[in-house]
Structure 1
Amino acid sequence: MSRDEFDRRPDPDALLALSEKEGQGKLRVFLGAAPGVGKTYAMLLRARAAKADGLDIVVGLVETHGRAETQALLEGLDVLPRRRSEYKGRAIDEFDIDAALARKPQLIVVDELAHTNAPNSRHPKRWQDVEELLQAGIDVWTAMNVQHLESLADVVTRITGVAVRETVPDRLLQDANDVILVDITPDELLQRLKEGKVYVPETARRATQNFFTPRNLTALRELALRRTAERVDDQMVDFLRQGAIEGPWATSERLLVCVGHDRTSLAVVRAGARLATGLNAPWIALYVQLAGQEERSAETVRNIDAALRLAERLGAQVERLSGDDLAAEVLKYARRENITQIVLGRSRAGRLARLLGRSFTDEIVRRSKEIAVHVVVDDMGTTEPRPRRWRLPSLPETGISVLGAIGAVSLTVAFGYLLDYWLHPPNLSVVFLLPAVLCAAQFGLLSAIAAAILSFLACDFFFIEPRYVFTISEPEEFLALVVSLVVAVITGTLASKMREQAQKMRRRAQAAQALFEYSRKLSAAKDLDEVLWAATMQIQKALNAPCVVMMMPNDGALRLGAAWPPLDQLDAGEAAAARWALEKGEAAGWRTGTLPSVRFQFRPLATGRGVLAVCGVEPRHPSEPFSAEEESALTSLIEQSCVAIDRSMLVGDSIRAAALEENEKLRTTLLASLSHDLRTPLTSITGAVTSLRELGEKLPKADRDDLLLSIEEEAGRLSRFVANLLDMSRIESGALSPRRDLVNVAEVIRRLVERCKKAFPGQKLGVSVASDLPPIRGDANLLAQVLFNLVDNAQKYGGETGAVIHARREEKDVVVTVTDEGPGVKAADLERIFEKFYRSGRVDGRKAGTGLGLSICRGLVSAMGGTIVAQSPAVRRKGTRIVMRFPAVSEQ
């Protein structure tokens, strides 16, 4: 590929944005400059035409406002019934989003995009209902006025003098597939008002006197035309990028909007959003927290939170930082992020700072040499008090600080009297530096200043001639005293700052230690439940707020995974918010855009597998947002919890994979065993039967008897193999339930000997049974089966010496052993011989047995409450001994 071809290839970002819209519904917005221009009428005309073309279209909600011509267009269209809602004793009809999702048409018409839903609705705003419909793959047609765009709300307020309370994020218009401008001239709209086609006559008369004036309508029309043109330009650029067509691209501008403490920040954010939209540039909303200002009033925290939330709704990336020098921190971040323009409000600095050029705005302008700066002036917010660099202590704190200063100065006066009595120093003013330093380190800056002033007075009163009056006779003494006061204030200030820094470092160390302890708990968690409980308790401890974790198992039912303090269940609204956060992967509940009236805020716990659970936190103060420290702690804990959940799921997967691998191994071994151990006896039986049928009486009687004996032996061998498989399946499935009868071990061994004589004729079998052998609890038939399998193994591997059975009593146990004098078993294989399909040794040049005998023996013995082990060598440095122990039944 040549360089020119590479440069002309489609923009990957544009293709990615296009692919992200696959599977989602398409949004068409009918945009008007003001009410009454005919947005709903134009939308319904197109809807009727689409229905005539065979499109499955439904009217979700349309506001006709009593206009007959609009009402007539609804005839023949499928209209969804509205959802009846009760609020403060008044019935409200709202759009039924659940009915729309259940109906799921190809296209749905939803009017009044900026409408605010009833308080008990799923979403506070109707545009959020529209977003959910689009995510469900349903096309949506909607209508709105330009005044309701979030970034233009304050501009429209200045133009018309009417506050705009219902707004729509600009991104909704930017992401729309089509924007259709419905436009008429101001004169035509005023004529429609006079004819009663917009409002009733009385309402129309008041509207023409306030909102509907030619000046206002012209300005609104210009805003609508400009915004539509910008949207068309963006759409054209997208087409060019997707098709790799050469042309002028958008600039690489990047904006930084500085958010402050007061409500002026809302105007700054809106101005930054308008500027970013006009430049088609990404933008960042930044709040820098001044060091030492961790504690603020609730009003200040609300202002910051409101500005950042507004910026996020308008499409900004939100960041929070902390630093000692606000201007330096902002510029450092701007240069690191390649910011080209900074937007900020007018500084609230004092007169002295402004005269010296030390205000925040002046510092940014002076030091941002290569970055353009926009200063937003908002007279509506100038009544806000400027933030202080340090807060005034509360009354109890002030009292403690002053008392501490008085106590420290009093002790210093007493110490000064002792020095004056013993050493007679010429000047004791240096001693009075101690109270300021001590008070600064212990109580803070206010106490240090109080101690410095009291030290100045005490030194003058008690130790400077003339004593006990506030008079100084010598100028040098006054100078020394003033210098001591200045030094005490400076020293106390520095010590107070060191104290604040030490407290901050201590809090950070505590937070880091808490995260470390939490990571240790997570690493020790064995399964998912332990991870969820650890996460719940740690979040509750960090925020001092109730915490719950909700999960959705495979059955699709939302369940409570963990809760601290303990909680039985959530109410319907909280459960709906939790389900929304789990399914959509975004925050829901308190102070979010989805069900904000519930008491919990639910955040998704997202891993590489998707959202597996949600964490809900109930704030201590519902009227105030989380502080920066709480937000940071919550985010860190949730991220660590997600990693731990992913790890626990991986452990579970590895265990299941190991089990599947083991099952596959067993299956392969079983098939190999079946192919060999079933084929051999079947081949012998088939061959013998064929010989008897074809030759019959031609064979000598001795040969016929040998063939019949071979059939009998191989059939018995096949029967034992099948019995072993059945016994193994019963043991592994847990279907084996042995009887708990009194078993006479000696009688079982006697019957075993008779059975072995028939099964193994000519083989030796030694028996030694103690005369005082007590009975055991168990199943005589199962015990006989175990002994027969052991004797069978001994006959195969023990050679000509055969097997020996011993039964004796050892304390409270009955011990039964089966011993052979074969080659024995390696020490490493003494435990492995009890595994399924494990074979040790060869008999007659081939592998002997199926490898199930000893595994079945262990299962049967364990079912009867006994134990079984192997020992080798057993006799004269060879052979194998199988030892079984059963609890003896005490004699009554």
Structure 2
Amino acid sequence: MSDSGRADALLAALPRNGRGRLKVFLGAAPGVGKTYAMLQAAHARQRQGIEVLAAVVQTHGRAETEALLVGLPQQALRRSQYRDVILEEMDLDAVLAARPALALVDELAHSNAPGSRHAKRWQDVQDLLAAGIDVYTTVNVQHLESLNDQVQSITGVQVRETLPDWVVQEADDLLLIDLPPRELLERLREGKVYVPEQARAAIDAFFTQTNLSALRELAMQTAAAQVDDDLHEGYRSLGQQAPSVRGRLLVGIVADEQAERLVRHASRVARRRHLPWSVVHVDNGRLLDETARQRLQLAQQIAERLGGEVVELRDAEVARTLLQHAGDRRANLILVGQSRRRRFGAGLAERLLRSHSGVEINVLARAQVQPSKPRRPRPVGRWREYVLALLATLLASGLAWAVAQVLDLPNISLVFLAAVLLVAVRSSPGPALSCAALSFLAYDFLFIPPNFSLSIQRQEDVLTLLFFLLMAALTGNLAARQRQQLSALRETQAHTAQLLELSRLLAAATDRQAVFSAAAQHLHGWPGLDICLLERGEQGWKVAHGSAAPFTTTELAAAQWAGNHAQPAGLGTATLPAGRWWWLPVTLEGRVLALLAVAERQPGRLDGHGRRLLGALVQPVAQALARADLAHDLEAARLHGETEQLRSALLASVSHDLRTPLTAMRGSIDSLLALGSALAPDDRQALLEVTRDEAERLDRYIQNLLDMTRLGHGALKLARDWVAVGDIVASAVGRLRAPLAPLQVQVQVPAQLPLLYVHAALIEQALVNVLENAARFSPVGGRLQVSARVRDDSLLLAVSDEGPGIPEAERTKIFDMFYTAARGDRGGQGTGLGLAICQGMVGAHGGRVEVSSGIDGQGTCIALCLPLRAQPGADADT
């Protein structure tokens, strides 16, 4: 093993810096005890002093599982409404804020409610792992994406919730939770998995003896594959070759009539032996006619549909290359077809059997029934090569007869050898050998005594003829093979030239549009093809360069599928083939960066060779797009740094807001000290009230700064308690007596409103910020309404004014720090922190802030939407 491979294995074995560890409890079906085992393991970790948090655990009403939840801290679920249904999901933000050492996340393949941060729960788990939190999770084997069709064929049920296999494969630990089918069925009948009605339906539909046995086998295979991967990495870290415990099946195919049959047989063998398998074709430089190319492409497409890997290799020694690839892939079985009877040398199967490599070699015999007509289809034009051989022989005979008077008899054979070489370099080995045989007969007939007879009188002439025939055959065959290799070399050189030209154009591209222009400039030169490039937009895929063709609904669906699955779709594939476009995803490290759409203007232009070449050409395009995206991100990071510097500078301007109340307070105090008893009691009282109001104003500024700092560093802790809405409103209005004095304040808070379970001081501060903002922009004598009402499962605490209002385009910006929507003489004051803090405080409670029009469509209405919980009185009654 190479040092680089060993180094990679050692690096993979090291703990990933800052990333949590994932442990998956894998089961064959619901009810085998995955959640129960996960909770038992969590209690064991808790006894070791590890901080454990049950982020989401689905007990499904099972008493023994619910008992294990006792003693484990649980995170409250996030509630959301979707189509008049209240859904409960894991509160990802709350778990990230709590940062436990270990989080319990049940049902890894679960689909989140619409509006969640991620569509799938396994994506939430990836966020937890990235934050350095260890995760215990559960999953059933039928949810693995690669087994979806197999599970459907076993159970007849299409599993909708799936997750990528790599999520489980990259787990640090995989624990198989096994339960014999009979015991699981007994648990079902006893109601320990589902309620009795659901249990009877499940036994009839899904939980049958055969289904459970098949799913159990799939779960064991998945666990065995994980163990095999761990074993392989362990040996790699030691610099040794891992023993073939599980193995792999390699299928060597050639472009003949039994390639398709061989691939299908290999699929069945791999399924019976539970082996991963690859279809390997070794290109030895021999030219393939169109029929052979079609057979090879069809066999490779069938292999892809059946779940096999397709590998293309190039080497003159087919047997040696297959054995070398088998060693690289740790394959323990090679399957090939029976070779045709050869007149000279051994076939592929014989050469593999003689290798003594220790690999099992299986040979599939040829079918007994072969089509009679046409037996071996010949491409159009092959007969011209044999006519060339005959004409070359006749020409050589005439030329040799003409020069026979000048040259000695032994040298006449060189004329015939020249004819054989001419045919060889212009055709293939078959016509070259035919020319050699015809030249042999002509040489004997015309120049070996007795002339004009095929008989030979002298023994030395026999040896001369035999050597001539041998040299003609060898030189003809060698020249023909050299011509084939030259053709293959030219094809490879053409591919390399295409890649170099495209790389040269892409090297000068600095952004995505320049990359698309360079790629289109190179690809649009292909004859007989329409090509366009698409990039992902807000509404789906859009044309980035090329003609915006009117794509049909099916073609757009194929494009969407190719973009989602990072696999080709459309014309010539097994996925949505209807339509004229072939969709090739431009991917890098599994990420789809763009789509290449190709359509035929002339039938047959988009063959297998063209598809492979386009697949090779999109790789430098993908790298160029990734480079452009990286450059864009770096530029965005630079701008973000400059923005942060600007915000820091603006924060320095807060000193102006602090100095204003301090100046007023100092002036009042100086007047009191200087004048003393000379001041009238009313003036003294006024100065004291001004000092108190300015002190309260200063206190609010400082509180805003402290709250903004706590929000920015995640240090805001919620001390929740049950509180009445009216108390919060009354306290907030009382704190702002002076700013609200010039306004007509109307408070509309019904007494029968439900209680809020919140941090009262934070919600009061948020309401104070909203009231102060409304007072700042309201005209003198204007109305200001404070109202509260229940909407769905939330309580709306709204503040409406008659100020200048906020344009709809700016309503999302008012929650940014340092942003102030200045309107008139009263606008533009303050630091712009109040509403940003308000949004942070409400968001910490799981709520949100809404902005709309104010009183009678004039001014602004800012509403605090706070989630409601089950009232404490209701819990007591139940």
Give the TM-score normalised by the residue count of structure 1. 0.46
Larger radius of gyration: 1
Give the TM-score normalised by the residue count of structure 2. 0.47
